[in-house]
A and B are shown apart, each in its own frame.
Chain A
């Protein structure tokens, strides 16, 4: 039985086409993936991302538990700040990538991926017990609707509905805020690479009017509701990882282009394995490929150099902004040099591609694209 967002009836009314994702039936698109994608890049879009999970981590030693179980030193993350990080197994492989929000003293909201709520909750509780840490994880995913409002006009849109001055909410800041008259957790975060905010809304029955109020507030900017189709293409253009694609079967953060997120100055589960892997150096690395020939790489396509297999595509699509095939692929060490040409094998045929620096779509895309 597929789970649904509390906003499912509203999406249906708005004309959504649905798709299955990680056990949820969520909107794939409302009008067109391409159109929705460009709406977020050019103005503003509204997502229901309630398939994502919500886990409270509370208790006197909540910070200690998060430091132990993530690659981030949680003591660095002050109250009303949030952080993107990853939870690892002892062998260094990624269980899930999450954002945690430091809401107030000894209280954190962790946002695991869709369908990962129970796995992450039990992992955190097991580790609390094993290491004798006074903290507790509670799965509250069912109690929350998560909305993401993303795009250059997201701030102007949301500002109409809250008395919090959004210019004072810095990147990755989080706080309680009244939005549309309802108390929400507001954070300056997102998964599109654009200016954007996310709202954790509880109880879920108030989410519908907030959703409609945001659509109304964004009317002058031609806001649109956005489905998971565009969410995937938006994140891929910015080289953000997708659970199930980039760390399906357990890649490590070193392999998955997350070295920047590892805080080596603290002890965490998986650290020893990462140190060993780093020393040995002989591991595949997530690499960005842009097609030179026509063709669309997809998850699972093999990558070759001079006829030899050197890796496999973890995510691929047609970039709506660049109008080219783009892919992230795990390639053997030594094949990461910018400009290096490789072949992506699509339906048995080699399609020429080159290694590029992330992200595929740069920050100034809108400016350069408009001119």
Chain B
């Protein structure tokens, strides 16, 4: 059974969001990493790039397939997890901690209200 953490927010497209003041840390859920299988490549965005909620944020590839990861909130990408460039498998091993993808400086906190809570996410997986 895939782990769903209570202290995170989720999207229907299987990203998770952790809010730290005005920063949203974004990754993919345990369910998503398990569905994708062995992750072997991550194409990260440039730091400083502005994204809108729902935009393609980055690409995660498993041996078998290519998956787009979408921005759960709008804002500026302030940090990307460069460790993943050499060790993308960390996403499989630690999707909620070491496998985080990017940090976004949140533009509009109201957008966070439309995200799912843990209970809501559990219902869709």
Residues of A within 8 A of B (CB): 17, 28-29, 32-35, 37, 229, 232-233, 294-296, 298, 317-318, 320, 325, 347
Contact = CB atoms under 8 A, between A and B. Distances in A.
A29 B41 contact: no
Contact of B63 (A33, A294, A347): A33
A306 B66 CA distance: 27
Interface string B60-100: 01111010000000000000000001000000000000000
Nearest to B38: A34
A32 B37 contact: yes
B37 A294 contact: no
Contacts of B41: 294-296, 318, 325
B28 interface: no
Contacts of A325: 41
A295 B66 CA distance: 11
A28 B40 CA distance: 17
B8 to A, nearest CB: 25
A353 B66 CA distance: 19
Contacts of A347: 43, 59
Nearest to A298: B66
Contacts of B43: 295, 347
A203 B43 CA distance: 49
Nearest to A17: B37
B40 A296 contact: yes
B82 to A, nearest CB: 13
A294 B61 CA distance: 12
Given A294-B85, A347-B59, A229 B40 contact: no
B64 A33 contact: yes
Contacts of A17: 37
A29 to B, nearest CB: 6
Contacts of B66: 296, 298
A33 B37 contact: yes
19 contacts: A28-B37, A28-B64, A33-B37, A33-B38, A33-B63, A34-B38, A35-B38, A37-B63, A229-B37, A229-B63, A229-B64, A294-B41, A295-B41, A296-B41, A296-B66, A317-B63, A318-B41, A318-B63, A347-B43
A28 B38 CA distance: 12
Contacts of A295: 41, 43
A28 B37 CA distance: 10
